Chains A and B, each alone.
Chain A
Amino acid sequence: MVDISTLSDSDVVAIVRTKDKELYAEIIKRYQKKLLRYASYIMKDEHRGADVVQEGFIKAYINLNGFDTKKKFSSWIYRIVHNEAMNMLSKNKKQVPMNYEVEQDSGIDLEDDFIRTEIINWTHHCLEQMPIIYREPLSLFYLEEKSYEEISDILRIPVGTVGTRVNRAKGIMKKLCQKH
């Protein structure tokens, strides 16, 4: 019996396509947290981010045969979520974005949790104010730890443009955070 967790994404996809479609749960497990974090940054809202990710996973499943196994699966699925987020953003353009509220988990060390939450809130607040063309590459580079090539594949922009946007985003982030 093969240990599923040792298989690469492409191998899991191959099994889902041909033998066991329910193994798609493994793909969801591997990516849901990362994609939820990414989509939440784009949408500026966790719940709308979750809707985007759900739609993204469904579209990815439907189009699984369209994935080229020679390419990186993570870039492909991030691209689908990116497209889904962009569609939802353009649909809800006229809607006022909901305020991002981080609910605290119940923890033993309340002070540490409070400081951590404050820092996260503060960083989120700075990120939220940034235009999406800078916010997205910045979150992909620093939070999702994607390379410039991967970001280029996800956003479908040249690698050079990725570098420029990340550098500009850093400058904007610095200014925005210093303001507060």
Chain B
Amino acid sequence: MSKTLKTQVADLEKTIIEKVKSNEISIKPKWYFIAGSLFAFAGLVGFSIGAVFLTNLTLFLLRRHGPMGQWRLQQLLTSFPVWVPILAVVGIVLGIAMLRKYDFSYKRNFWIIMLVFILSIILAAFVIDQLGLNDTWSRQGPIRRFYQQVGGKADSTKRVSDYGGI
């Protein structure tokens, strides 16, 4: 070790302890870390639920209107509520980012964890769609209006297309 580094080593302890004594630096309280963990977990759950819901909604809208059904591809692209699948992807990406904060993310192959996470979301969305929950939610319940708004935009375009518009 060089002389200057030896001096630095000696100074290091002194400098830090002085900061500790003078309260220039202080230990963050325990609740800060507990809150951090809770928020991270809530974030993971929230993003996962959001991603499942939006993926399910995308499947529902595709099933109802195309892409190979009544709509032509051009019409699908212009009228489809693109923000739904985009937000679904954002939810998946943020969910994956939250997963990375957990220790298991580097102890196992993260590509497999990511793949399982994405597949689980798609599978959950598919199951919800197949169970007919979308049809129920679009007719009754607290999110009926939301479904009508999202589906309504598509329906109005469909009617225009029926009359040879666009």
Contacts and interface: CB of A to CB of B under 8 A. Distances in A.
Interface of A: 16-17, 21-22, 24-25, 28-29, 32-33, 36, 46-47, 50, 53-54, 57-58, 61-66, 101-103, 105, 152, 156-159
Contacts of A65: 27-30, 32-33
A58 B25 contact: yes
B76 to A, nearest CB: 42
B20 A21 contact: yes
Given A24-B20, A36-B1, 7 more contacts: A21-B20, A24-B16, A29-B13, A46-B5, A66-B28, A152-B106, A159-B107
Contacts of B74: none
A56 B58 CA distance: 46
Interface string B16-36: 110111000111111011001
B17 A25 contact: yes
Contacts of A103: 2-4
B108 to A, nearest CB: 7
Contact of A28 (B3, B16, B33): B16
B136 interface: no
B2 A156 contact: no
A103 B12 CA distance: 19
B21 A22 contact: yes
Contacts of A152: 106-107
Contacts of A29: 13
A24 B9 contact: no
Interface residues of B, number: 29
Contacts of A47: 4-5, 8
29 contacts: A17-B27, A21-B20, A22-B17, A22-B20, A25-B16, A25-B17, A29-B13, A32-B12, A36-B8, A36-B9, A46-B5, A46-B8, A47-B5, A54-B12, A54-B15, A58-B19, A58-B25, A61-B16, A63-B27, A63-B28, A65-B32, A105-B1, A105-B2, A152-B106, A156-B105, A156-B106, A157-B106, A158-B107, A159-B107
B16 A57 contact: yes
B29 to A, nearest CB: 7
B28 A50 contact: no
A32 B13 contact: yes
Contact of A62 (B5, B25, B30, B108): B25
A101 B108 CA distance: 40
Interface in B22-76: 25-30, 32-33, 36
A40 to B, nearest CB: 8
Contacts of A157: 106
Contacts of B13: 25, 28-29, 32
A4 to B, nearest CB: 14
